[in-house]
């Protein structure tokens, strides 16, 4: 028995975002079942009284809504349509909320395939980080049919502070998220280039941060990520380099499909790729600053 | 007789910024003398009761402080040290406030050359735009000697809301301004790439602007410049494409002096250069979006 007679809700992928979202759903009164390949992740949620399973397909018969917070499109594809796939096990009329950042075309195609089985799909990429996930205060960039929004409503309310309703087709939410990631990725890389260059020409980095935050060169990412550069805090990632090689990869793939030039996204993607290539893929995404350090005679702040 | 017994203040370059700064100085009680090669610019200031001259050297014997708001380092060089140069005409103990964005090394060298004549130099690049210039509410990123700050104090107070004191040598203020311009230029170009790509994939641009402004992809420049893209307002520039080909040029020249890599600044510089090459050099700097339009089958909003 869930909130207001709503059926059980499954959450696939109990990483830092998914766990917080599952906690928010549970707190809102939903019977919540977490699914992850990691036994440790499941134990964490079980300890809080949550339901658990390692097999996504098992969620199918039980759940009215399934929230997917896995890494990428390949994982969504495997979970839904791979061996022992979830798609075949879901109830007609149930909904799949796809919260990963995926290519817009993948979102559209997946929605169409689930529609053939009578399963609803909400294109629902998320933004806000793990703290807001745990608070049920995410931003969700959503698109989908009237029926999908109606079915997803109570679930969205439990997870999000802001739900943008961006269109009546899957893919539109993912398109807006993609553009956000283009900007976010370029801005993190630009913050790294700027701080590293400032240090190279002899500016005190704390002063530079303070002045830029109040000037026309500021960005949300500059304000959010540069403090990690100032303390050398690269090994407790809130978001990793690998996320941006992936998300800027989606930007570049989609741009290529449209024959659309994206020189800044391409340059930023190369910088994140350099960081990943240097072994920093699992580190905080502000590690792009360490690429500049490794290539020059500067010393970044902190002990990293 | 100026404010509190301070001598006359000269302002060289009565463009949109310089005129506002001259007005702010006059309002604060300084005897203010404007200098410009344009007779029309001088007439505008004379009509408000300001003093005027077309010859910068004439300011020398009269002024205790001279504020330079010309376009670039080459103009500063010509005014100070060219034929009938101002440097030789300035009084010992007077101050030259250099407000243009110039290479940090140029600021240092110019300060040293003026010091040989007993003239003070304040490295004082400005930020804030023409409205804040007219309100006396600029941000100034300043560096210089104790004596330079002491002499400049009342003049800075009349022009600025915020004065960052960034070091005791000329060049440090220009270095911080240079980093700010690196970020500002990359962010304008990224905003253009993002909006154009969003339109290409079918997102409503007004909606995209609204969502991004509240998301992690936002920047000061995105919020400030995209409204011009949404209205197609490129021909009443508040800041031009040419400003950023120049300022990112300073970034690239300085980076090259230090053998420092700056791939994002270089890419953004190419995008502004494309805009200038396409005849948009005197247009609003958000015209980078029109580069993407010209290279693709999108149509930007507005009638431009």
* All structural domains of chain B with their residue ranges: 3-169, 174-294
Q: In the predicted model, what is the mean pLDDT of residues B38-60?
A: 97
- Give yes or no for residue B303 having a pLDDT over 90: no
Q: What is the pLDDT of residues B262-274, one digit of tens each?
A: 999 999 999 999 9
Q: What is the pLDDT of residues B170-218, one digit of tens each?
A: 999 999 999 999 999 999 999 999 999 999 999 999 999 999 999 999 9
ipTM score: 0.95
B270/A263 touch (CB, cutoff 8 Å), yes or no: yes
Cα gap A107→B268, rounded to integer Å = 31
Q: Mutual orientation of helices A16-27 and A146-159 as an angle, nearest 10°?
A: 90
| pLDDT interval class at A77 (50, 70, 90) | very high
| pLDDT interval class at B1 (50, 70, 90) | very low
- What backbone phi and psi angles, to 5 degrees, belong to A122? -115, 120
| Residues B54, B192 contacting (CB under 8 angstroms) | no
Choose, out of A263, A294, A298, the residue to mutate when testing the contact with B (most B CBs < 10 Å).
Answer: A263
B193/A268 touch (CB, cutoff 8 Å), yes or no: no
Chain A positions touching B219 (Cβ under 8 A) are 183, 187, 218-222
Closest B-chain CA to A219: B219
A203/B263 touch (CB, cutoff 8 Å), yes or no: no
**Angle ∠(A263,A266,A270) on CA atoms, nearest 5:** 140
Overall CATH class of domain A3-169: alpha beta
**What is the pLDDT, as a whole number, of residue B4?**
66
**Least confident residue range of A2-11, A44-53, A215-224, B148-157:** A2-11
Which of B163, B188, B202, B205 lies closest to B241, judged by CA? B188
A177, A200, A214, A246: the catalytic one is: A177
Chain B positions touching A255 (Cβ under 8 A) are 197
B132, B177, B200, B246: the catalytic one is: B177
Catalytic residue list contains B177: yes
Q: In the predicted model, what is the mean pLDDT of residues B47-56?
A: 97
Q: Is the domain B174-294 a CATH 1.10.1040.10 member?
A: yes
Option in A127, A189, A219 nearest B264 (CB): A189
Cα gap A244→A241, rounded to integer Å = 5
A182/B190 touch (CB, cutoff 8 Å), yes or no: yes
- Give the SS3 label for residue B276: helix
- Give the SS3 label for residue A120: strand
Q: What is the pLDDT of residues A106-121, one digit of tens each?
A: 999 999 999 999 999 9
Option in A141, A166, A296 nearest B260 (CB): A296
Share of chain B above pLDDT 70, in %: 99
Closest B-chain CA to A104: B201
A203/B179 touch (CB, cutoff 8 Å), yes or no: yes
Partner residues linked to B240 by β-bridges: B284
| pLDDT interval class at B151 (50, 70, 90) | very high
Option in A216, A263, A271 nearest B127 (CB): A216
Cα gap A302→A282, rounded to integer Å = 19
């Amino acid at each position: 028995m869930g909130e207001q007679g709503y059926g059980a809700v499954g959450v696939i992928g109990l990483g830092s975002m998914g766990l917080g979202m599952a906690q928010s759903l549970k707190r809102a009164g939903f019977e919540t079942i977490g699914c992850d390949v990691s036994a440790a992740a499941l134990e964490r949620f079980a300890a809080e009284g949550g339901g658990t399973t390692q097999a996504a397909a098992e969620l199918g018969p039980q759940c009215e809504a399934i929230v997917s917070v896995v890494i990428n499109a390949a994982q969504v594809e495997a979970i839904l349509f791979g061996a022992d796939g979830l798609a075949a096990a879901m109830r007609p009329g149930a909904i799949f909320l796809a919260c990963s950042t995926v290519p817009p075309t993948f979102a559209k195609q997946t929605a169409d395939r689930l529609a053939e089985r009578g399963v609803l799909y909400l294109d629902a990429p998320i933004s806000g980080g793990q703290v807001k996930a745990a608070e049920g205060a995410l931003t969700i960039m959503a698109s989908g049919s009237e029926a999908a929004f109606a079915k997803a409503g109570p679930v969205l309310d439990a997870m999000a502070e802001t739900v943008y309703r961006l269109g009546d087709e899957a893919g539109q939410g993912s398109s807006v998220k993609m553009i956000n990631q283009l900007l976010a990725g370029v801005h993190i890389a630009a913050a790294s280039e700027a701080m590293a260059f400032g240090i190279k020409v002899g500016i005190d980095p704390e002063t530079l941060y303070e002045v830029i935050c109040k000037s026309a060169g500021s960005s949300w990412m500059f304000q959010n990520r540069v403090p990690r550069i100032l303390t050398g805090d690269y090994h407790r990632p809130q978001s990793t380099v690998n996320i941006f090689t992936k998300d800027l990869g989606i930007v570049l793939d989609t741009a290529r499909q449209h024959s659309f030039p994206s020189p800044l996204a391409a340059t930023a993607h190369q910088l994140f790729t350099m960081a990943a290539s240097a072994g920093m893929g699992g580190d905080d995404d502000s590690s792009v600053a360490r690429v500049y350090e490794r290539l020059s005679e500067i010393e970044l702040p902190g002990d990293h």
